[in-house]
Structure 1
Amino acid sequence: METMSTSHPTEASDTNTSINDDHSSGTPNRRSKVWEHFEPELVEVDGALKAVCRYCGMKMASGKSEVAFNKFEDPSFSPWMASLQPTFDCIGRQTIRNDCVRMYGRVKQTLASELQGLDSRICFTSDLWTSNQNLGYICLTAHYVDANFALNKKIISFKALKYPHSGLAIEEAITRCMTEYGIKEKMFTITLDNASNNNTACHLLQESAKSDLLFRGQHLRVRCCAHILNLLVQDGMTIADAILEMIRDLIRHINSSPRRIQSFNEIAERESLSPKAGLVLDIPNRWNSTFDMIVEAVKYRSVLKRYAASNQEPFSSNDDWIKVEAIGDFLEAFEEATRAFSADRYPTTHTFLDNVLCIHEALKISEMQANEAIQNLGRAMESKFSKYWDGNYNMTLVIATALDPRKKMDFLEFFYQRVCNYFVDIETSMTSAREWMTKYLRKYEEIVKTNGVDPVYTTVSRGIMGSPVLAKRRMHQEFAHFRNQKRASNTQKSELDAYLEDEHKLELGA
């Protein structure tokens, strides 16, 4: 079974493909030694954050290195390079461009050969992006396990997408990339957000590549978990917007000029708090930026209050601040789930049902909804949860959970008992999961035998990473109690049954 990522960059709407906004916290990446020669804090100049030289005070933009090829033909470039390294021979921009293109071609061919030579299939994630020039681009990323059983993530295409960005245009761009790399028959799943054009693109992919897909692509489409969680929380946050708006206005006021930031920092230092290059201000389609804003605002509440009083700016009441703190505590669990879903350097598929169940339980925990604001927020989120995650789970995610040696079929039964409304739904779901696991096992056995190799089953490593989210400790304790009540059958078992019913299981927190 391939391991796939259940995450990719989030979008803002479930009906249209939207723009991914960049958000900078104002804190540069300081791994380079060059930062030793600049002041620790950035300053804002004409709306842009810049670094200040320790020696001459010059203010320079940080974080980017967008130098055009024609810089090599600048009359001052050669003398400057000669002063640094007299033996360096400058070359023209066309030569530099050609070398870059040739290197890209070599690396691309090497990657294509690696992908074509895989024994396993490939999972893909895709997203649409809009540039500052309002040009649309599509990004396609391949996730696969190599011969050393290491998880790889490679961006194989980042190209302009013709307008309009219809499902047909998306399907054509994806198919063109697959054909270009010679891996059309290796597609297993593709993770997309919930935009309507992506729904159309998946249907077209299933129609055009049925013969190449496993089981005619019945499990091709994986809905982006991070995107669904974003939509879920966004619906809840509309309830909280009125409470947060006064805080937003005050932060906008402070961030609007270096003088106001300096005034804020003077108060912060008197309160023994760290100065800020700029306060976190949330952006509309990234709910976790709202969480970051709340956390920082709560920490600097006394500073904000003093600043507002000295500058005659409105300030939220104590009751509103109590609600804001409660919202921050409630959102912390969902922020942790977002991090779990968005990981891309290790497998996440087997954690999907675990995280979904924790979210499901969090929305029902009475202690978390003692506050009226949280109750309203939770109800709005629960409605969106039911829309996307009320039994609508891609079977590959379910199978991946059962293949986690800590969970197996016991966890699936535990999961369905918690989320299903009727006993018959539990039985149907369990039967379907076992049947599909058997189908995939038989299919891979056929593939291995076709390649002239007998299937060999080995014991896999038990060091699987856990996923901490809200209510996991309580849920895991209840699952352990549930599992201890199960009794293994003594009848003759197949290799798959033996695995699923093996009494030697790992603890969930291992």
Structure 2
Amino acid sequence: MLQTVIEYKDVFSCSKQRDKVYNSLPTDGEWAEARLICEKLQLFHEITELFSGSCYPTANLLFLKIYDIKVDLIAWVSSPDEVVSTVTSRMIDKFDKYWKIFNHVMAIAAVLYPRFKMKLVSFYFKEIYRELVAFEIQKIHNMCYDILHEHQARALEGKEDDGSIITRVLIFSCSSDRLSKFDFFVNEESDSMDVKSELDICLGESVLPRCENFDILTL
């Protein structure tokens, strides 16, 4: 609505000239204030359209837009415009209550997205955390591996539940060959190392290109 009003600024001026009773014509300063506020609200308008136009907005999209809001709020709170800085300060107080809860989850989702990985996290974290950027990036890195180890432990529990322990005991009791035990040792070690190395490789690889005609089947 505010954007529409700005587009008809000249109409308001004409109304003032034709109607002597009309005394609500905004000043040039108020028009400038309105344009500035519209510029700030444009981001929220785009996010609303994105989420309302998608039945299932993915976590990587959430990361981009929510982190855009965070970065812009940090910049706006230092705005020379008193209205913008005051309103932004109030917005940050409310925004940070939710930010503390979900920002790490979205960052992890971005890390697992092949076009973003840790590169995008590092890019945004430099804007947000500044002198604490290294600590916060390491926190996300550790969380990724915590999740990996948790799933790895569950996978091992599943193997034990399906009778693998009994199988090992039977084989060990039937054979005194130390190489048989060595084979099991190697298998167990490689199981854990393979999963970890896949994550290392994933994080170490370059991000996939961000282009509309990208074909993942050509990789």
Give the match for residue 174 of structure 1.
Answer: none
Equivalent residue runs for 1:49-448 within 5 Å: 293-307=1-15, 310=19, 312-313=21-22, 314-345=24-55, 347-365=57-75, 369-389=79-99, 391-393=100-102, 396-420=105-129, 422=132, 423-440=134-151
Contact 1:352–1:401, Cα closer than 8 Å, also in 2: no
The answer on 1:499 being equivalent to 2:202 is: yes
- Deviation, 1:417, is 4.3
Query: How far apart, CA to CA, are the structure 1 residues paired with 2:123 and 2:95?
Result: 19
Q: Which amino acid aligns with 2:113?
A: D
1:240-281: CA deviation from partner (whole Å, max 9, x where unpaired):
xxxxxxxxxxxxxxxxxxxxxxxxxxxxxxxxxxxxxxxxxx
Number of paired residues? Answer: 175
Q: Which amino acid aligns with 1:498?
A: I
Name the CA shift for 1:400/1:327 in 2 (closer, same or farther; >3 Å): same
Name the CA shift for 1:507/1:374 in 2 (closer, same or farther; >3 Å): farther
Query: How far apart, CA to CA, are the structure 2 residues paired with 1:395 and 1:444?
Result: 24
- Deviation, 1:317, is 1.7
- TM-score, normalized by length of structure 2? 0.62
SS of 1:494 mapped into structure 2: helix
Query: How far apart, CA to CA, are the structure 1 residues paired with 2:155 and 2:10?
Result: 62
- Aligned CA RMSD, in angstroms, stands at 3.6
Contact 1:350–1:401, Cα closer than 8 Å, also in 2: yes
Name the CA shift for 1:496/1:442 in 2 (closer, same or farther; >3 Å): farther
- Deviation, 1:370, is 4.5
Contact 2:71–2:128, Cα closer than 8 Å, also in 1: no
SS of 2:102 mapped into structure 1: coil
SS of 1:392 mapped into structure 2: helix
Contact 2:2–2:34, Cα closer than 8 Å, also in 1: yes
Q: From the CA coordinates, give the structure whose radius of gyration is larger.
A: 2
SS of 2:62 mapped into structure 1: helix
Name the CA shift for 1:395/1:327 in 2 (closer, same or farther; >3 Å): closer
Percent of aligned positions with the same letter in both sequences? 24
Larger fraction in helix: 2
Query: How far apart, CA to CA, are the structure 2 residues paired with 1:348 and 1:498?
Result: 24
- Deviation, 1:342, is 3.5
Unpaired runs of 5+ residues, structure 1, are 1-292, 451-490
1:422-454: CA deviation from partner (whole Å, max 9, x where unpaired):
35444333312331244347658988xx9xxxx
- Deviation, 1:499, is 2.2
1:83-107: CA deviation from partner (whole Å, max 9, x where unpaired):
xxxxxxxxxxxxxxxxxxxxxxxxx
Unpaired runs of 5+ residues, structure 2, are 162-192, 213-219
Contact 1:402–1:408, Cα closer than 8 Å, also in 2: yes
- Deviation, 1:394, is 6.1
Give the match for residue 220 of structure 1.
Answer: none
- TM-score, normalized by length of structure 1? 0.30
Contact 1:416–1:429, Cα closer than 8 Å, also in 2: no
1:219-259: CA deviation from partner (whole Å, max 9, x where unpaired):
xxxxxxxxxxxxxxxxxxxxxxxxxxxxxxxxxxxxxxxxx
Contact 2:3–2:38, Cα closer than 8 Å, also in 1: yes
Contact 1:398–1:433, Cα closer than 8 Å, also in 2: no
Q: Which amino acid aligns with 2:146?
A: E
Contact 1:402–1:409, Cα closer than 8 Å, also in 2: yes
Name the CA shift for 1:301/1:369 in 2 (closer, same or farther; >3 Å): same
SS of 1:393 mapped into structure 2: helix
Q: Could you list the structure 1 runs, at least 4 aligned residues long, displaced by more than 4 angstroms after superposition.
A: 440-447
Give the match for residue 183 of structure 2.
Answer: none
Contact 2:6–2:35, Cα closer than 8 Å, also in 1: yes
Query: How far apart, CA to CA, are the structure 1 residues paired with 2:54 and 2:128?
Result: 27
Name the CA shift for 1:445/1:344 in 2 (closer, same or farther; >3 Å): farther
Name the CA shift for 1:438/1:338 in 2 (closer, same or farther; >3 Å): farther
